[in-house]
Chain A
Amino acid sequence: MIRVTWILLLLVSLHRAASAETVAIRGGTILTGAGETIENGVVLIRDGKIAAVGTNVSVPADAELIDASGQFVMPGIIDAHSHIAAESINEGSVAVSSMTGIEDVLDPTDVDIYRELAGGVTTSNVLHGSANPIGGKNAVIKHRWGKDAKGLLFEGALPGIKFAMGENPKRSRGQGPAARYPETRMGVIDVIRQAFTEARAYQKEWKEYEEKKRGGAKGLSAPRRDLELEPLVEILEGKRLVHAHCYRADEILQLLRVAEEMGFRIATLQHVLEGYKVAKEIREHGAGASTFSDWWAYKIEAYDAIPYNAALMVEKGVLVSINSDSAEEARHLNQEAAKTMKWGGLTEDQALALITINPATQLRIDDRVGSIEVGKDADIAIFDKHPLSVYAVAQKTLVDGEVYFDRGLDLVRRAETEARRKELLERAKGGSR
């Protein structure tokens, strides 16, 4: 019996794979994330991309149908701050760990990839930890559960890097023989200034070399490559995004100023719990802000954190997203976004943007994901109720038009797993068979 069901399931999934070229999600309320709500609409997907959206969409006869009657269809949720699917997070032994990167340690078997699909998440910005003023490189991934590490990577996403301010980089190695500079916020800024001073010299060395080479000079030897400084040069040249962990308003400001002094911009301020105090300066610098909804008081630099932070920064013109920083929190980012309606009075559209198009824009992948629009990747989450309600339960999640999470199927499979577990236990107890 068990075997028969497994074969059926296999056939079902084979069938899905075979006809996955055209998929139509019908009957639901579509929250496009592009300012539109379409009742009883259709999302037509062809080859993993959104081919049509609306009420008057003709569905080809061979399309695989997903019935979303009475349900809500929204863009896949994007988490701008995640630490899932990685074998390690912090290289804390050095103050500048820009030579390291999450891509080298991606773990496609981390079940959190699936658990977050079950909360509607389709893209995550997997970041290095916050032990260093300048941390390691990030990896933007799609939740293609079952694919290998390379298959997870969001192809073409602009690379990024982690920076960190405040208590974490200060205290990360504690006292004693493991102690590490910096110990203060002064030292944190100094490390960044030093590193970029070196990076600019390194950049200059290479530029001079390239110029001489172009000029036809003979007998040149290339400067020695420096894997620590290369990512910093990419930052200076706008080819790598800085995602900076920060809490207090003063350290946020110091970071913006040292970046301006060194000639680069901060792409996103992460956590940015006191961002509401310096929203004006953040907007003027052009940084995005990616924050938690309402965590506070767990450490002193989080004591002035308020649940109005996201809404207030939005009101002051900052591009804001709500992130998780946690494999658990990521499973209900829709609820975290809903809190901004209560604390600060954002509209439904504004609240949804915090977990869809805004993080997409912050990660510079908004041409690919973040809204349900023709030409974009078919990364879609389907909830049984309005996703800003506490009662909404994710039903299906699609990445590139493929169903990676299906609650109905999950319920069937877990029953099978349980039956199999029981059978194996019986056998183990029963001895030889």
Chain B
Amino acid sequence: MTGMALLLLALVSDEVYAIRGARIVTLAGEPIEKGVVVIRDGRISEVGPDVAVPEGAEVIEAEGLEVYPGIMDAISQLGLTEVGAVPVTNDTVELGDFNPQIRAATAVHPASEHIPVARANGITHAVAAPGSFSDFGGAGGFGIQGQASLVNLDGWTVEEMAISPSVGMVLRWPSLETRTFDFSTFEPKTLKFEEVKKKYDERVQMLGDWIEDARRYDRAAAAGAEPDLKLEALARVVRKELPLLVVADDERDIRAAVEFASARDLRMALLSGRDSWKVKDLLREKGIPVILGPTLALPATEDTPYDKPLTTASELQAAGVRVIFASFSSANSRLLPHEVGNAVAYGLPWEEGLKSITLYPAELFGVADSLGSIEEGKTANLVVTDGDPLEIKTEIRYLFIDGKLVSLENKHRDLYEKYRARP
């Protein structure tokens, strides 16, 4: 590297920013009506109503604007898929049903067009998770699908993006659902309950064996046993270093998964959780958080209230269950704040809604010491808006990731400008 480049690099990393005059919604106490946030060395060095702007700082005049913690997509497929219908662009689901050793970060594509698109709506960091989260998973999907990785949505390489390559282990719980969808004929198909139940029992047995194997391996490894990559990875779940992220929707499946994790003393979070409202007391009792998918979804059955997916979050929250929201998507990650806005429209307190995509996922994934709120010493992942970030028409004005002012340009904006200029 030349001397000049080194000098430039030094200048960039030394950049100090001060966001001045904005309303600061810290999520660590009351909002500051008119304050200053100082960003230095990637961190929030000062925040408050009477903070002086350091000399030489790049000042962002933000009177009339609002500052929020960067939005976190707690389960996404960002970087793992580009074009859904083109299989070669998808790195979401590996073959086999026992893959605890694989990590999403390995496949996160830093140049994916989806990343700047998500960013443009205030998403600053996301968990990229392996697995299939489509509603059509039905009776077919099952398995330990790999480790989810937490990444910043900015960086030249995945190494620069990665906050933690491993924050959770994804398990798609086997389903007792007999109704399924056959994509070869494009017809719904009903399987025999006895057959589904037999397979289900086998799979739960298998899961239990894997966990037991991991526990034994953990003890054996300490005594110098040969390494086993799969069990080594799963041992982190057994040691409760990683939460088991269990994808389940049906009430029966959720109850079974909770019982399974509880009996084995595992840390569990429920993902998707369509029927979680039916199980809210159990979830509260066991302290299991729920990462809900989109609120803008159809009710599960014909006679389910039309607004059930919209009220699920508020019902869980009122019952004392920790609610987190995620997109479970890549292309639609940017819609996350709107999905939460809809839950707020149907009863979730606004601040809880905001925390469900900032502080609460940071807590679940063990990074709340550096992310999730605006406090001195935390990583400067921030969004500056012209209003409520959950509201559709609100615009993102500035975005900071890891203390850097990040461009809001993206493929969509580029195409807009290009064709807008067409004579």
Interface SS majority for chain B = loop
B392 contacts A276, C-beta separation under 8 Å: no
Judged by a CB distance under 8 angstroms, whether A227 is at the interface is no
Report yes or no: A308 in contact with B416, Cβ–Cβ below 8 A. Answer: yes
Q: Are A306 and B338 in contact (CB under 8 A)?
A: no
With A388-B392, A390-B341 known as contacts, the answer to whether A298 contacts B83 (CB < 8 A) is yes
A298→B416 contact, CB < 8 A: no
Chain B's nearest CB lies how many Å from the CB of A80?
20
CB distance from B377 to the nearest CB of A (A): 33
Number of interface residues of B (CB under 8 A): 41
Q: Is the CB of A306 within 8 A of B416?
A: yes
Whether B303 and A417, one on each chain, are in contact in the complex, defined by CB atoms closer than 8 angstroms, is yes
In the complex the two chains form, what is the Cα distance from A312 to B416 in whole Å? 8
Does B419 lie at the interface of the complex (its beta carbon under 8 Å from any beta carbon of A)? yes
A327 and B298 contact, CB distance less than 8 A = yes
Q: Is A307 an interface residue (CB 8 A)?
A: yes
Asked if B416 and A276 make an inter-chain contact with CB atoms under 8 angstroms apart, the answer reads: yes
Let me know if A328 is at the binding interface, CB within 8 A. Answer: yes
Chain B, residues 64-99, CB within 8 Å of chain A (1/0): the string is 000000000000000000111110000000000000
Q: Does A149 count as interface, using CB distance less than 8 angstroms? A: no
Task: Evaluate contact between A300 and B86: CB separation under 8 angstroms.
Answer: yes
Q: Which of B17-25, B45-53, B267-275, B342-350 contacts A (4 or more CB under 8 A)?
A: B342-350
B157 within 8 A of A: no
| B393 within 8 A of partner (CB) | yes
B363: A residues at CB distance < 8 A: none
> Contact string, A162-180, partner B, CB cutoff 8 A, digits 1/0?
0000010000000000000
- Minimum CB–CB distance for A382 against chain B, Å: 15
A41 to B49, CA, bound (A): 44
Selected from B85, B341, B346, B392, the residue in CB contact (under 8 A) with A299 is B85
Q: A390-B345, A393-B345, A410-B306 are in contact. Are A341 and B393 (CB under 8 A)?
A: yes
Q: Can you list 28 pairs linking A and B with CB atoms under 8 Å apart?
A: A111-B302, A115-B299, A276-B415, A276-B419, A277-B422, A295-B332, A296-B412, A297-B113, A297-B114, A299-B83, A299-B85, A299-B86, A304-B415, A308-B420, A312-B419, A312-B420, A315-B420, A327-B298, A331-B296, A331-B306, A335-B338, A342-B394, A343-B416, A388-B393, A390-B344, A390-B392, A393-B346, A414-B305
User: Chain A residues near B416 (CB, 8 Å)?
Assistant: 276, 306, 308, 312, 343-344
Interface contact B392-A303, CB-CB below 8 Å: no
Tell me if B307 is interfacial: C-beta within 8 Å of chain A. yes
Chain B residues with CB below 8 A from A393, complex form: 345-346
Assess A342 versus B84: contact at CB under 8 Å? Given A296-B331, A328-B297, A335-B338: no
Smallest Cβ-Cβ distance to A309: which chain B residue: B416
Closest approach, in angstroms, between the C-beta of A334 and any C-beta of chain B?
Answer: 10
User: At the interface, yes or no: A236 with Cβ under 8 Å from chain B?
Assistant: no
CB-CB under 8 A from A300, the residues of chain B are: 83, 85-86
A298 in contact with B392 (CB, 8 Å) = no
Say whether A338 faces chain B, with CB atoms less than 8 Å apart. yes
From known contacts A111-B302, A341-B393, A410-B306, infer whether A297 and B82 are also in contact, taking CB-CB under 8 Å.
Answer: yes
Chain B contacts for A294, CB-based, 8 A: 334-335
Residues of A close to B395: CB separation below 8 A? 342
Chain A CB within 8 A of B261 CB: no
B209 located at the interface, meaning its Cβ lies under 8 Å from any Cβ of chain A in the complex:
no
20 additional A-B pairs beyond A342-B393, A388-B392, beta carbons within 8 Å, are: A115-B299, A167-B85, A276-B419, A297-B82, A297-B83, A297-B113, A297-B114, A297-B330, A298-B331, A299-B85, A306-B412, A306-B415, A331-B306, A341-B393, A389-B391, A389-B392, A390-B344, A390-B345, A390-B392, A391-B391
- The yes or no answer to B57 lying at the interface (CB within 8 A) is no
> Nearest chain B CB to A373's CB is how many angstroms away?
27
- B390 at the A/B interface (Cβ < 8 Å)? yes
Residues on B with beta carbons closer than 8 Å to the beta carbon of A296: 331, 412
Q: How far is the CA of A111 from the CA of B304 in the complex (A)?
A: 10
- Chain B residue nearest in CB terms to A167: B85
Q: Which of A278-297 contact B (CB under 8 A)?
A: 279-280, 294-297
A299 to B81, CA, bound (A): 11
A329 to chain B, nearest CB (A): 8
Q: Tell me if A115 and B298 are in contact (CB < 8 A).
A: yes
Which B residues are in CB contact (< 8 Å) with A392? 345
A335 with B86, Cβ < 8 A, contacts A111-B302, A308-B416 known: no
**Chain B CB within 10 A, most for which of A277, A298, A304:** A298
> Residues of A contacting B391 with CB < 8 Å?
389-391
Q: Does residue A72 face the partner (Cβ distance < 8 Å to B)?
A: no
Residue in contact with B307 in the complex, picked from A118, A280, A306, CB distance below 8 Å:
A118
Q: Which residues of A contact B331 (CB under 8 A)?
A: 295-298
- Which residues of chain A are near B302, meaning CB under 8 Å? 111
Residues of B within 8 A of A279 (CB): 419
Q: Is the CB of B341 within 8 A of A298?
A: no
Task: Please provide the chain A residues from 384 to 433 with a CB less than 8 Å away from any CB of chain B in the complex.
Answer: 388-393, 410, 414, 417
A305 to chain B minimum Cβ distance, whole angstroms, is 8
Would you list which residues of chain B between 238 and 266 have a CB under 8 Å from chain A?
Answer: none
Is A46 positioned at the interface, with any CB of B under 8 Å from its CB? no
Residues of B within 8 A of A280 (CB): 422
The docked-state distance in angstroms from the alpha carbon of A114 to that of B85 is: 32
Give the residue name and chain of the A residue nearest to B416 (CB): A308
Bound-state Cα–Cα, A328 to B300, Å: 12
Q: Roughly how many angstroms separate A208 CA and B416 CA in the complex, as a whole number?
A: 51
B42 to chain A, nearest CB (A): 29
Please provide the 4 A-B residue pairs with the shortest distance between their CB atoms, ordered closest to farther: A390-B341, A299-B85, A308-B416, A306-B412
Q: Is the CB of A338 within 8 A of B412?
A: no
Residues of the B chain whose Cβ atoms lie less than 8 Å from the Cβ of A331: 296, 306
Q: Which chain A residues border B85 with CB–CB below 8 Å?
A: 167, 298-300
Mask of B376-417 contacts with A, CB within 8 angstroms, 1/0: 000000000000001111110000000000000001110110
Judge whether A368 is part of the interface by a CB distance below 8 angstroms: no
Q: Are A332 and B296 in contact (CB under 8 A)?
A: yes
Contact flag A328-B393 (CB < 8 Å), given A297-B331, A299-B85, A312-B419: no
CB distance from A350 to the nearest CB of B (A): 13
A339 at the interface (CB under 8 A from B): yes
* B82–A114 touching, CB < 8 Å: no
Residues of B within 8 A of A115 (CB): 298-299, 306
Rounded to whole angstroms, the CA-CA distance of A200 and B299 in the bound complex is 48
Q: Nearest chain B CB to A300's CB is how many angstroms away?
A: 5
On whether the beta carbons of A328 and B392 are closer than 8 Å, the reply is no
B residues less than 8 Å from A315 (CB atoms): 420
Instruction: Give bound CA distance, A307 to B85, whole Å.
Output: 20
CA distance A344 to B335 in the complex (A): 17
Cβ distance A281 to chain B, nearest Cβ, rounded Å: 11
In whole Å, how far is A403's beta carbon from the nearest beta carbon of chain B?
Answer: 16
Contact A391/B419 with A297-B331, A328-B296 known, Cβ cut-off 8 Å: no
Residue from the set A167, A332, A339 with the largest chain B CB neighbour count within 10 Å: A332
Contact with A along B177-196 (1 / 0, CB 8 A): 00000000000000000000
Q: Which residues of A contact B419 (CB under 8 A)?
A: 276-277, 279, 312
Specify which chain B residues have a CB less than 8 angstroms from the CB of A299 in the assembled complex.
83-86
Taking the closest CB of chain A, its distance from the CB of B312, in whole angstroms, is 15
B368 to chain A, nearest CB (A): 27
Chain B residues positioned under 8 Å from A304 (CB to CB):
415
Chain B residues near A417 (CB-CB < 8 A): 303
- A118 in contact with B346 (CB, 8 Å): no
